[in-house]
Amino acid sequence: MKKKHLFKFFSLLVVLGLLLSACSSNSSGGKKDGKKSTTSTEKAKEDIGQFPKEVKNDNKVVEDGTLNYGLVYDTPFEGTLNYAFYQGDEDAKVLQFFDIPLFTINEDYEMTNDGPATYELSKDHKTITVKIKDNVNWSDGKPVTAEDYEYSFLVIGNKDYTGVRYGDALMQSIVGMKEYHAGKAKRISGIKIIDDKTLSITFEKANPALLTGLWSYAMPKHYLGDVPIKDLAKSDKIHKKPIGFGPFKIKKIVPGESVEFERNDDFYAGKPKLKSIVLKVVNPKVILQAMKKGEVDVAEFPTDQYAAAKGSKNFQFIGKIDLAYNYIGFKLGHWDAKKGENVMDNPKFQDKRLRQAMAYALDNKTVGEKLYHGLRFPATSLIPPSFPSWYDENANGATYDPEKAKKLLDEAGYKDVDKDGLREDPKGKKFKINFLSMSGGDIAEPLAKFYIQCWKDVGLDVQLVDGRLAEFNSFYKMVQEDNPKVDVFAAAWGTGTDVDPYGLYGRDANFNYSRFVSEKNDQLLADGHSEQAFDHNYRKKVYDEWQAYMNDEMPVIPTLFRSIIYSVNNRVTGLNADHEIDALGWFNVGVTSETPEVN
């Protein structure tokens, strides 16, 4: 009898196995169908402007609610929970709840006086005086002091510091920073503590980047001060028991998978609406299901799954234009490491008409609509629209115009001499272009192929370097070392909140991968962060001119602007798309029902 039972059980298992595999073939079939249907409805083009920046929910907030935050990531997060040391985006997403910047920001990411600290600029714009509000306290009850703020500069500038924040030009231009960094001084002479809550920072020269790029995070000196700076990065006080002065504090961490936050009752701006937040790592492949099930209330949503998620009833999307752009760069020279500057000496693409033609040949509108469901759209400038004051709405990017491309190529002397359908260079020799593109994601391959086809349509013979997409590390190695195999390359930049493009296009900027240099470029970039540029109108004029200049010279082709979207359960209120960088981003967030809405 017993045996029979066992037997039954196993045959059941087998049947179950059959059933499951039957399901699996079904579901993959369903997926295919799904894809097809989205292609047909794609005409309803998504416009990032349609995404509300703020979540919509008029119901009454529940007292002491709990919210589930999904950290969409396919790897266990490590948790280097300090702004001076963290390197991965996922850590920043954990930090946002319990540690916040000292300043709030406006829509151009400039500091404002509505946050934990206020500031005042001196007349010559070289000195900033920061006053931390009286009731701003660390979550262990100790006040946040001027010394804590100074301490974070002392850590970053220290010769034993192993993080990546010292590279910032603004950081290095603090008076006395270089001496301190070299170990010649005990303190940074430009940073003066005026009283417990006030300090002033003096810079070598006035730079408007100060308002967007000033390091604005304090570090708890009373808590971390006894750890030598060289051991700070690996200290448990940063990995396991960090403290901050944000609206929430860490209650518990399960390494690699989840963090529980509880309300910081002592928060300077008042009592946060939520009682607790549970953050959980969720694989990108299952985030849509988790949203539908109500297991996750808020998550940064992977844009490639947007088409499938559209129309879900229990959650909504908020979004904004990302501080980033994709581009295609021409290798115009090399980096002279000795002199520390870019040299423009590669003759192949010196004719700007050729560069322009290659830009006009690209149909980025189709790329954005077909491959990215409208969540990416043609870029028109090297300053993304996420800087509303600086982005030039009238910037004349190269919109798709193959006829114009052909005309430009004809003018420049690139003509099809031997009638094989492909153009030869002005001397009549075969003209081959090597295109370096990065692998990763499902779209990389079709995108690269599409661009190559676009160029072929105007008669240019473009091929992938080594005949294939390059893996991430090899890609950057080749680009950074100006490998002669590479003529053009497709890459992307995250700009950060500082609009100043100097670090990416300056003469002595290593990241100026196209190696484009010119007197006019130097001049415009210098003007853009001169003292005079504290005047908004003047700076706007300079950057408008720079955008137009770069669009004409076209050392890099801006290809796509991108959007960033968050999926938010209908029960959430008070959340906006800037919550990750806004000091008060989570303070006002609440839920209007004890349980999440389920689809």
Partner 1 sequence: MLKFILRRILVMIPQLFILSILIFLLAKAMPGDALTGQLASNPKMDAQTLHELKQKLGMYDPYYVQYARWIKGLLHGNLGMSIIHQTPVTSLIAGKMWNTVLLGAAVLILSYLIAIPLGIIGGRWTDTWADKMIVGYNYLTYATPLFIFALLMLFIFGFVLGWFPTSGSVDIRVENGTFAYYMSKLNHLILPALSGAIVSTTVTIQYLRNEIIDTKIKDFVKTARAKGVSESKVYTRHIFRNSLLPIAAFLGYDIVSLIGGSVFLESIYGYPGIGQLFLTSIMQRDFSVVTALVMISGLATLIGTLLSDIILSAVDPRIRIE
Rule CB under 8 A: is residue 30 a binding residue for partner 1? no
Tell whether the torsion through CA atoms of 96, 101, 104 and 107 is positive or negative.
negative
Among 214, 259, 354, 460, binds partner 1 (CB under 8 A): 259
State which residue, 211 or 233, has the beta carbon closest to partner 1: 233
State which residue, 415 or 477, has the beta carbon closest to partner 1: 477
Rule CB under 8 A: is residue 476 a binding residue for partner 1? yes
Candidates 71-79, 126-134, 143-151, 221-229; binding stretch for partner 1 (CB under 8 A): 71-79
On whether the CB atoms of residues 63 and 272 are closer than 8 A, the answer is no
Candidates 32-40, 49-57, 371-379, 509-517; binding stretch for partner 1 (CB under 8 A): 509-517
Rule CB under 8 A: is residue 44 a binding residue for partner 1? no
Among 167, 183, 270, 388, binds partner 1 (CB under 8 A): 167
Rule CB under 8 A: is residue 53 a binding residue for partner 1? no
Rule CB under 8 A: is residue 28 a binding residue for partner 1? yes
Among 27, 122, 135, 396, binds partner 1 (CB under 8 A): 27
Rule CB under 8 A: is residue 498 a binding residue for partner 1? yes
By CB under 8 A, the count of residues binding partner 1 is: 77
Q: Closest Cα partner for 357 from 324, 322, 398?
A: 398
Site for partner 1 in 202-231 (CB under 8 A): 213
* Residue 17 CB, nearest approach to partner 1 (Å): 5
Rule CB under 8 A: is residue 163 a binding residue for partner 1? yes
On whether the CB atoms of residues 570 and 552 are closer than 8 A, the answer is no
Rule CB under 8 A: is residue 7 a binding residue for partner 1? yes
State which residue, 59 or 480, has the beta carbon closest to partner 1: 480
DSSP at 302:
P
Return the number of other C-beta atoms located less than 10 Å from residue 168's C-beta: 17
Site for partner 1 in 274-313 (CB under 8 A): 278, 280-283, 285-286, 289-290, 292-293, 295
Q: Closest Cα partner for 424 from 437, 412, 442, 436?
A: 412
At residue 149's C-alpha, the angle toward residues 146 and 155, to 5°, is 135
d(CA 118, CA 129): 8
Among 228, 411, 472, 535, binds partner 1 (CB under 8 A): 472
List C-alpha distances in Å: 263 to 61, 98, 142, 253, 543: 16, 9, 17, 15, 43
Q: Closest Cα partner for 320 from 58, 582, 539?
A: 582
Candidates 49-57, 81-89, 108-116, 419-427; binding stretch for partner 1 (CB under 8 A): 81-89
On whether the CB atoms of residues 423 and 457 are closer than 8 A, the answer is no
DSSP at 518:
-
* Residue 254 CB, nearest approach to partner 1 (Å): 5
Rule CB under 8 A: is residue 482 a binding residue for partner 1? no
d(CA 407, CA 416): 13
Rule CB under 8 A: is residue 352 a binding residue for partner 1? no
Rule CB under 8 A: is residue 493 a binding residue for partner 1? yes
* Residue 138 CB, nearest approach to partner 1 (Å): 22
At 240, which amino acid appears?
A: K
Write out the DSSP string of 38-82: HHHGGGS---GGGS-SB----SPPPTTEEEEEEEE-SS-------
State which residue, 112 or 472, has the beta carbon closest to partner 1: 472
Site for partner 1 in 82-111 (CB under 8 A): 85, 87-88
Residue 48: both structure tokens together: 């990032």
Return the number of other C-beta atoms located less than 10 Å from residue 384's C-beta: 22
Site for partner 1 in 103-162 (CB under 8 A): 162
Relative orientation angle of helices 402-412 and 352-360, to the nearest 10 degrees:
160
State which residue, 75 or 396, has the beta carbon closest to partner 1: 75
What distance separates the 2 farthest-apart alpha carbons in the chain? 95
Among 29, 30, 228, 256, binds partner 1 (CB under 8 A): 256
State which residue, 6 or 194, has the beta carbon closest to partner 1: 6
State which residue, 49 or 255, has the beta carbon closest to partner 1: 255
d(CA 388, CA 79): 33
Rule CB under 8 A: is residue 339 a binding residue for partner 1? no
Burial class from Cβ neighbours inside 10 Å (0-12, 13-18, 19+) for residue 108 reads middle
* Residue 401 CB, nearest approach to partner 1 (Å): 31
Among 495, 514, 521, 570, binds partner 1 (CB under 8 A): 495
Rule CB under 8 A: is residue 252 a binding residue for partner 1? yes
